Amino acid sequence: MPFINIIFRAEKSSCIMAHFLSISDLSGEYLLKVLDKSKDLKKKTTPDLKNKTLLLIFEKPSTRTRISFTQAMYQLGGNVIALNAGETQLGRGETVADTARAISRYVDVVAARVYSHQSLVEMSQHSSIPVINALSDMEHPCQIMADLLTIKEKFKRLEGLKLAYIGDGNNVCNSLLLGCSALRISISVASPKGYEPDNRILQLARNISRPPYAVVDLMQDPSQAVKDADIVYTDTWVSMGDEKEKEKRLKAFRPYQVNDKLLSLAKPGCIFMHDLPAYRGNEVTDSVMDGPRSVVWDQAENRLHTEKAILLYALGKL
């Protein structure tokens, strides 16, 4: 059953429409169901979305999301229309609400990558088709589904593991907080002062995690965060939209690089994860990215398999 997230989801239509704006739109139980379906789809995919059309809208660049969603929909037998927001009337000032009303008349599901999460909430409130978050300033739920599948494949379980997130308390960090806590993975976030994850998300994650089963910790010291970690995760220090702060950020995050020394402080069997694109030499070294603990290409591949399951969920076929 969809979970109660009163902060980041569309309140009006959420009960009837399977939007996926936040990881917390789904309960832990339902997240597991989507992951199980992804595992099946990875082995075999049938054309269950024949005659359905996915609209992809991008306000920001994308490699993985655009290609994996397109391929996912094709492999499910459906069609795809992909647009950069600037090519649409959104770029000339048509409102998100009116755009949502119009596109609902043409396609069956929309996945949008936006600067402001509020645009997605608005879109979902005025759309009669499901809306999927393909990344916003607040969350990146599709990425975290692929990450959770990857973790499950590597460890054969989720509950009881510990993930250390090192770096910027950004969209990826926010969705990891919600995903890990729902599935009882402990999460320690180490971020410099001023770059912590959203406080409302942190509180929500703490409420969901129900300690002592899973613990949600926030700290500044990366070596403390990686202690006993099964998974060490990082993301870019300069997210899309943060470019103006680049120099300031590179300085603030310098002590947060995931390198061999930091990784050696985690559990011996730990894995390294990154949602990509990676900025080698900044948040991660070549030796970690290309080293034996890195599972980043499996994560990238699993975007395809989990997005198929997300599309089936959104279109009521799960």
Question: Which residues bind to ligand NVA, rule: CB under 6 A?
Answer: 135, 140, 170-172, 235-236, 239-240, 275
**Judging by beta carbons within 10 Å of its beta carbon (0-12, 13-18, 19+), is residue 8 exposed, middle or buried?**
buried
The four Cα atoms 79, 84, 87, 90 give a dihedral, to 10 degrees, of 100
Footprint of ligand CP on residues 34-63 (CB under 6 A)? Answer: 62-63
CB of 252 to ligand NVA, least distance (A): 16
Contact track, ligand CP, 231-260, x by CB under 6 A? ------------------------------
User: CB-wise, 91 or 277, nearer to ligand CP?
Assistant: 277
Q: At 130, is the secondary structure helix, strand, or coil? A: coil
138 and 174 in contact (C-beta within 8 Å)?
Answer: yes
CB of 224 to ligand NVA, least distance (A): 23
Report the alpha-carbon distance of residue 119 to residue 122 in Å, rounded: 5
User: CB-wise, 103 or 138, nearer to ligand NVA?
Assistant: 138
Report the alpha-carbon distance of residue 205 to residue 216 in Å, rounded: 7
Phi, psi (deg, nearest 5) at residue 266? -85, -175
Footprint of ligand CP on residues 153-212 (CB under 6 A)? Answer: none
Size of the site for ligand CP (CB under 6 A): 9
**Enclosing H/E stretch for 274:** strand 271-274
Contact status: 283 vs ligand CP (CB under 6 A): no
Contact status: 143 vs ligand CP (CB under 6 A): yes
Q: What residue 63 binds from ligand CP, ligand NVA, none (CB within 5 to 8 A, per partner kind)?
A: ligand CP
Binding interface with ligand CP (CB under 6 A): 62-65, 135, 143, 275-277
